[in-house]
Amino acid sequence: MYYSSFGSDKNYDHHHSHPYRRSDKGYLLDDFKKEKPPTFDGEMKKSEDAEAWLLGMRNFFKLHDYSENMKAMIATFNLKGKADIWWEDVKNVKGAREDDFTCNELEKLFKKKYLSERYYDDQVEEFYESQMSSMRNDEYTSRFLELLRYLPYLKEEKAKVQRVISGLSVA
């Protein structure tokens, strides 16, 4: 769908001056102490919770030069509660070990479980049906930009501006 995997794998280590090598557990521990990656418990009050977790993990991985496999292991380590139980079931059904999965594979499985096609369709529908109604201009603009990410084919700035303007109420 719209989002790519958690991040791209780089072929260099820009942290070469760090006392640990990228594969050392001490290095990973330092990363977790500095920035706490988000957790996801599977107890979604709304689908945006799952999407926010994916985005949070992507942002965490932007800062770190992990392999695709290490990204998947870190992400699954941050699944808690029902989400962790789901992940254990996935591994058992597939007969796979955790280090057999890449970040892309994990994200596909996660989206299939927690972010249905209907969720994405609803976001696109909300985008096209959005009206300013009782929202202030800044609220409407913010929501417009949030929903715009679900329409990657809407690339021209002119079309974006026209859509925002068409939703603004005339005073």
- Beta-bridge partners for 79: 40
The pLDDT, as a whole number, for residue 125 is 83
The pLDDT, as a whole number, for residue 90 is 94
The pLDDT, as a whole number, for residue 20 is 35
Statement: the pTM of the whole predicted model exceeds 0.75: no
**pLDDT tens across the length of the chain (171 residues):** 444 455 544 443 444 443 334 455 555 667 666 778 899 999 877 778 899 999 999 999 888 888 898 899 999 999 999 999 999 999 999 888 888 889 999 999 999 999 878 887 888 787 777 766 667 777 777 777 777 777 766 656 656 666 666 666 555
The pLDDT, as a whole number, for residue 17 is 41
Q: What are phi and psi of 40, to 5 degrees?
A: -140, 125
The pLDDT, as a whole number, for residue 106 is 93
What is the rounded radius of gyration, in angstroms, for the C-alpha atoms of the chain?
Answer: 19
The pLDDT, as a whole number, for residue 10 is 42
Closest CA to 38 of 15, 55, 62, 23: 55
The pLDDT, as a whole number, for residue 56 is 93
